[in-house]
Amino acid sequence: MLKIEGLSVSYGAVEALKDVSLDAPPGRVTAVIGANGAGKSTLMRTLAGLEKPKSGRIVFNDQDITGGKPEDIVRQGIALVPEGRSTIPDLTVEENLKLGGMWRTHAQRGTSLTRVYGLFPVLGERRHLGADTLSGGERQQLAIGRALMTGPQTLLLDEPSLGLAPLIVTQILELVSQMARDSGLAVLLVEQNAATALRVAKTGIVLNLGEIVRAGRPMRSHKTRSCDMHTSATDPLEAQRGIAP
Amino acid sequence: MIDFIDYLLGGVSSGAIIALMALALVLVWRSTRVVNFAQLGQAMFTTYVALTVRDLTGSWVLGLLVAMVAGLVVGVIVHFLVIRPVKRLDTSGAIIATFGVLIALEALAAMVWGGDPEAFPPPIDNAGFELFGRIWPFSPYDLLVLFSVVILVLALSVVFTRTNVGLAMRASAFNPEVARLSGVRVNRMLVLGWAIAGLVGAVAGVLVAPLSTLSPTSFDIFLVFAFTAAVIGGLDSLVGAVAFGIGTGLVIALVSGYSDSSNAPLVALALLILNLLFKPEGVFSHHKARAV
Amino acid sequence: MDSLLQRFSGARLGVNAATALVIWGLLTWLNQVIDPLMSYYLATTAMYATAMFGMTILLGLSGQVSLGNGALMAIGGYIFALTSMNWQTVPILGTPWNAVWSMVFAGVGGVVFGAAIGGIAARLRGPYLAGLTLGIAVGVPAIANRFPGLLGGENGLMLQVPYPEGGYASQDVGIDEGIDEAGGVAGDDEPVYEELPDEFADQGEELPVDDGGPAEEDMLSEDDFLSEDDFLSDEDFTTDDGFDTELAEDDLLSEDDFLSDEDFTTDDGFDTGLAEEDLLTEDDFLSEDDFTTDEGFEADVDSSLGSDDGGDIDGANEIVDTTDPAADLDLAGIDSEFVIEQWQASVAIAVACVVGFIALNLVRGRQGRVWKAVRDDPIAAAVSGISPAGSKISAFVISSLFAALAGAVFAQILSYVGPGAFTLGLSLSLLVGVVLGGRNSFIGAIIGAVILVWLPEFVLGLSADRGWQDQITNNAPNFIYGLLVVLVVLVAPGGIVGGIQGLVGRVRSGNRTGPRTG
C-alpha cells in the first residue's frame, strides 16, 4: 500500500505542499480534490518521482521510496497518468501502449494488452493508427491504458476530466473504479471536479493551498444527485481508518 | 545528357555517405536536442583507427569493424563530456562544448598520426566499370559503398520501428517524461542514441576516406554538407536526413561536374542559406527553427 | 542621429575615452622598450583582442554562438590588401590614398557583410546559427580559390607593409622613389602604399638577407658614395678651359637648355600629367649630408672587416640586427630607428584601443542593456518595444566590424592574405579565446587573446626542453584548448573572469553560494 507521511514540497520559495499525509488503500478509489493551485498535481508528480520533496516520506509496501527516480518507481508498481494528454502523437496507438512495462515478460505484457483492449475497445479498433487521430476522450483512455500496461498496484490519476465531456469522464472513472474493485488496484484520483470525483471515491480528501483541510467519506444523495462529504475529522488518516474496507 | 548521367552516377556514393553523416547528426538531435558538431571529428578519428588497423593487419574489414566499435565508444564518451553535465545549462553551452570536442579531437589526431593528408586505399577496385565500351564513373567500390549504406539504413530502420529498444529510443526523443513514467530508462536511451550515431559516423568515415583524403581537418567540409542535408530534411527526420543527404551529394556532383569542384562548399552554403531563409524547420519536420 | 546618440547615452564617454587613452599610452610605451619579437607578440595579441571584443559582444552579450568571425576577418584582410595594393593613386574625397582609407574600407566591408549574414543568422536559434556560420567559415576562404586572378587563389596575396616615412619593409631601398607622405590626411604617420617602378624591382634580390651579417662586398664603403667631385659643375661647360671638342658655343648646352623650376609647374603646358608633388625635388635626392660615415651609423665599419668572422661586425658596440631592414637603412647612413615589428604593433595597438573604446561605450550604454535584455528574455524584450531580431543583427554588425578591422591588422602583421590564414581554425580560436577568458567581459577577451598567443609559446618552450616531436608541439595547444573549453563549459561557464568573480563573490559573502551559471 502507498502511504504518504508528512510530505512537503517547495518550488523555490513557494511551498506547494505542506506536511501532507494520506494513504491510498487497495481496491478502492481515493479522491483528492481542490481548486487550481491547491497542490494536487504537485502531489502526483512527487509521488511519481518527477519532483523531489523537501521533507516527508513516501512509503510503498513498507519500503521507503522517497526521492526515487520515476522509471524505478513505476517498476515498483506505482503508475502515474499525468495531467493533460500524455500520449505521444508521433507513435501509433499500439506503440503508445507497448511503451509501458517493457521490463515485464512477454506473457505479462500480452495479457495486459488484451485486458486494455477489452476495457477500451476503441483503442483496439485503432491500434495501428497514429495516436494523433484519437479524440480527447480516447487519448485519455490510451494514457490510462499505457499506465495499466506497467502492471501497477497503485494507479495515480491526475485530473482525468480536464477538457473532456462529463459523460465520458464518468464512463472512464466508473471503469477505473470497477477495475479497482475487481482487481484490488489502488487508485489515487486527483480532481478539480469534486462532484465527479466523489461519485466514485470511497474517501475524499480536500486540499487547499498545499494543506489538507478536510477528509471523510463522500455522501451520495440520490435525490439531489449531489455529493458532499461526511466529515468526521480533519485528519484524513483518521477519517480513512474510520471507513470500513 | 550523357554528362548529366555521368555526374549523377559520380555523386551517388558520396550522396549515400553524406546521408549516413546526416543521419548521425539527426540521431543525436532526436535523442538530446543537440547538434553534435564534433560528429564528423569523431568519424575522422575512428577512420584513422581503421587505417591503422588495416595497416597492421592487412584487412579492411577488420579496420571497419574496429572503427565501428571505436565509434560506439567515442560516441558514448563525447555524450558524457557534452551532455550529462551540460544539460542543465543554456543551449549555447552544449554547442560550445561540441566545438571544444571537435578542436580536441582534431588536435589529438594530429598528435597521434600527424597532420599530413594520408591516403586510404579502397578495399576493392575504385576504377569505373567498363560496360558497353565505355568506362562509367561508377566503380565496384561505389557499389560496395551503396550496398553498405543501404544495409545500415535498413538495419537501423528495423531496429527503430520493430524493436522495443527502438520504440524506447523514439519515445525518449519525443517525450522523455512520458517515457520515464512508462518505465523507460531514458538516460540510457540517450547514451544509446549517441553511441549509434558514433557507429554510423564511423562507417561513413571509413567509406568516404578512399574517395577523399584523410587528415585531421579533411572532414570539416563534410560537416557542412551533412549539416545542410540534415537541416533541409528537418533535424527531427531520419528519412529527411537520408533523402536530402543523397540529394546534397548529387547536387554537389552536378555542380562539380558542370563548373568546378571548389564551388562545392559554396553551393552547400547557398542551399543552407536558402533553406534557413524559407523553411528553416526543414521539409519533413514539425519543429520550429526560428527563435523570433 | 538621435538614436545614434541614444545608443551612447549614459555611457560616460569621458571615462571610457580616458581608459582607452591610458591603455594606449601604456602599450605604446611598452612597445618601445621591448625587443622586436615581443613587439610581434604584442601586435598579434592586440589583433586577436580586437576581434574578440566583437566575440564578447556577440556571444556574451547577445548570446549568439557564431563561427563567422574568421570569415569576416578574411573579408577585412582581403579588402585592406586589395585596396592598398591597387588603389594608391585613386583619390578619395580629394585626398590621396593611404592606409587609413584601406582600414575604413575594410571596416565598411565588415559592416556590409555582417549585416548580410546577420540578416539571415540573427533569426535563427542556437544550433542553426552555429551551423550556418560554420558553413560560412569553411566556405568563404574557398571563394579566394575561385578568383585566382583577383584574389590570389590558393597562394594568396603578398602585401607590402610600409614604413611611416615611405618605403617598404620588405625591400632595402633607402631612396624613397615615389609619392611621399605629404598626401596623408592625418599626418606623417600614415603609411603610403605604392608599387616600385619596375627598374627597382630587381634590387631586392641583390640585397643581403637574414644571413646573420652582411658580407664584406655588400657593405658600403666611402668609395661607394658620390662626392661633389663626381658632379659636373658650371666650369665644365665653358668652351674656354680646353674642352677638346669641335663644338661651337652654340652646340654646347647652356643654362637655358636645362629645365628649371618654372618648367615644372602645370601651368606652363607641361603635359606629363604629373602634379607638382609627383615630381622629384631636391629633397628627394640624397645629398652629401646623408652619406657621412660619422652620423647615424650604428656599427663601426673598419678595415678588419677582411677577417672571416662571418657574423658580427668587428669592433661593433652593439650587434646590429641586420635581418632588420631598418638596420640596412642605418648602415646606408639613413637616420632611422624604425623597427617593422614595432610599427606593426603600434598599428595593432591603435586599432585595438579604438575598437575597445567603441565597444566600451556600446556595452555600457543603452545598446548594451538592449542586448542583455534580448539575450535573457526575448519575449519580454519584444513586449517592451525592442526588436529582438534587430538587436541580434546589430550585435552581428558590430562584431563583424571589429573582426574586419582585426583582419586588416592581421594582413599587415603577416604581410600576406590567403585562404590558409583564415581557416575554420581561426574562427574556432576566436571562440576558444572568449570562452576561456570569459565571454561576458572585455577583460576576458584580452585574457583570451593573451592565452591564444602565449600558450603555443609555452608549449614550444616545454617541448624544447623535453625534445617533443613537432607534430605534438604544434598540436598540443589546440588539444589543450579543446579540453579546456569543455571543462569551462562544465564547471565555470564564465571563463577565467567569471571564475574569479565567482570566487571573489563567495569570499566576500562568506556563504556557500554556488556559481551562477548561464
Distances (CA, A) of C90 to A142, A150, B175, C101, C106: 77, 81, 64, 11, 16
Say how far apart CA A140 and CA B252 lie, in whole Å.
49
Note whether B223 contacts C134, CB cutoff 8 Å. Answer: yes
Beta-strand relationship, A55-60 and A203-208: unpaired
Contact (CB<8Å) A79/B174: no
- Give the C-alpha distances (Å, rounded to integers) separating C495 from A224, C490, C510, C516, C517: 69, 10, 22, 12, 11
CATH number of A2-241: 3.40.50.300
B interface mutation test: which of C376, C475, C488 has the most B CBs within 10 A?
A: C475
| Cβ density class A33-57: b for 16+ within 10 Å, e for less | bbeeebbbbbbbbbbbbbbebeebe
Do C and B touch (≥3 CB pairs < 8 Å)?
yes
Q: Is residue B143 over pLDDT 80?
A: yes
Residue of B13, B11, B74, B76 lying closest to B44 (CA atoms): B74
Amino acid code (one letter) for B168:
A
Nearest residue of B to residue A99 by CA position? B182
C325-359 confidence digits (pLDDT tens): 544 444 444 434 557 777 888 889 989 999 999 99
Which chain C residue is nearest to residue B219, measuring alpha carbons? C138
Count of beta carbons in the 10 Å neighbourhood of residue B285: 17
Rounded Cα distance, A131 and C376, in Å: 36
Domain ranges of chain A: 2-241
- CA distance, residue B47 to nearest chain C CA (Å): 19
Instruction: Report the largest interatomic distance among the alpha carbons of chain A, rounded to a whole angstrom.
Output: 50
| Maximum C-alpha span of chain C | 109
Over 50: is that where the pLDDT of C165 sits?
A: no
Cβ–Cβ below 8 Å for B280 and C428? no
CB contact under 8 A, A100 and B164: no
- How much is the ipTM here? 0.92
Interface of A with B in 37-96 (CB under 8 A): 48, 50, 69-71, 74-75, 79-80, 82, 86-88, 90-91, 95
Closest Cβ–Cβ partner in A90, A95, A99 for B184: A99
Least confident interval from B227-236, C38-47, C186-195: C186-195
Instruction: With a cut of 70, say whether residue C242 has pLDDT above it.
Output: no
Q: Which residues of B touch C143 (CB under 8 A)?
A: 266
Instruction: Determine the average pLDDT of the residues in C9-27.
Output: 78
Instruction: Say whether C518 and B107 touch across the interface (CB within 8 A).
Output: no
Q: Comparing B265-279, C78-92, C457-471, which segment has the lowest mean pLDDT?
A: C78-92
Shortest CA distance from B175: residue in chain A = A88
Hey, what's the cell of C222? 666611402
Q: Is B76 on the interface with A (CB under 8 A)?
A: no
CA distances from C460 to B76, B108, C311, C346 (A): 33, 17, 27, 26
Q: Centre a 10 Å sphere on the Cβ of residue A183 and count the other Cβ atoms it contains.
A: 12
Report residue A152's pLDDT band, with 50, 70 and 90 as the boundaries: very high
Residue B257: inside a domain: no
List of chains touching C (3+ CB pairs within 8 A): B
H/E segment holding residue B193 = helix B186-208
Average pLDDT (C250-264) is: 63
CA-based nearest residue to C219, from C165, C319, C297: C297
Q: How many CB atoms lie under 10 A from the CB of residue A179? A: 18
For chain A, the residue count is: 245
CB nearest to B178's CB, from A88, A101, A149: A88
Q: Do A48 and B181 touch (CB under 8 A)?
A: yes
Q: How far is A72 from chain B (nearest CA, A)?
A: 7
> From residue C254, how far is each of C54, C212, C239, C269 by CA, in Å?
67, 51, 11, 22
Residue C389 with chain B: CB contacts under 8 Å = 292
State how far the Cα of C513 lies from the Cα of C504, in Å rounded to an integer: 12
Q: In what order do the strands lie in the sheet with A29-33?
A: A78-81, A154-158, A186-191, A29-33, A203-208, A211-221, A226-233
Give the Cα separation of B72 and C428 in Å (integer). 26
The verdict on residue B185 lying in a domain is yes
- Rounded to the nearest angstrom, the minimum Cα separation between A203 and chain B is 26
Asked whether the predicted pLDDT for residue C439 surpasses 70, the reply is yes
C311 or C234, higher pLDDT: C234
Scanning B136-175 for CB atoms below 8 A from A yields 164, 167-168, 170-171, 174-175
**Residues on chain C touching B228 (C-beta within 8 angstroms):** 135
Rounded CA separation C437/C447 (Å): 5
- Domain containing B53: what range? 2-127+137-219
The segment with the largest mean pLDDT, out of B248-252, C149-153, C314-318, is: B248-252
Q: Which residues of chain A lie closer than 8 angstroms to B171, CB-CB? A: 88, 91, 99
CA distance A46 to B206: 48
The least confident of A109-113, A174-178, C29-33, C360-364 is C29-33
What's the total number of domains in chain B? 1
pLDDT digits (tens, 9 = 90+) for B90-125: 678 889 999 999 999 999 999 999 889 999 999 988
Between B219 and B127, whose confidence is greater?
B219
In terms of DSSP bridges, do strands A55-60 and A2-11 run parallel, antiparallel, or are they unpaired?
antiparallel
Condensed to tens digits (0 to 9), the pLDDT of residues C284-328 reads 666 666 555 444 444 444 444 444 444 444 444 444 444 445 444
Sequence-separated (6 or more) residues with CB below 8 Å from residue A200: A29, A31, A173, A174, A176, A177, A189
Domain assignment present for B190: yes
Chain B hits for C148, Cβ within 8 Å: none
Residue B131 is predicted with a pLDDT of: 78
Find chain B residues with C-beta within 8 A of C425's C-beta: 217
Q: What angle do CA A134, A136, A138 make, to 5 degrees?
A: 55
Say whether C377 sits in a helix, a strand or coil.
coil
Q: What is the mean pLDDT of residues C423-442?
A: 94
d(CA C234, CA C255): 9
Q: Using the predicted structure, report yes or no on whether residue C380 has a pLDDT greater than 90.
A: no
Residue whose C-alpha is closest to residue A157's, from A183, A185, A130:
A185
Chain C CB contacts of B86 below 8 Å = 489-490
Please check whether residue B258 lies inside any domain of the structure: no
pLDDT tens by residue, A69-85: 999 999 999 999 998 87
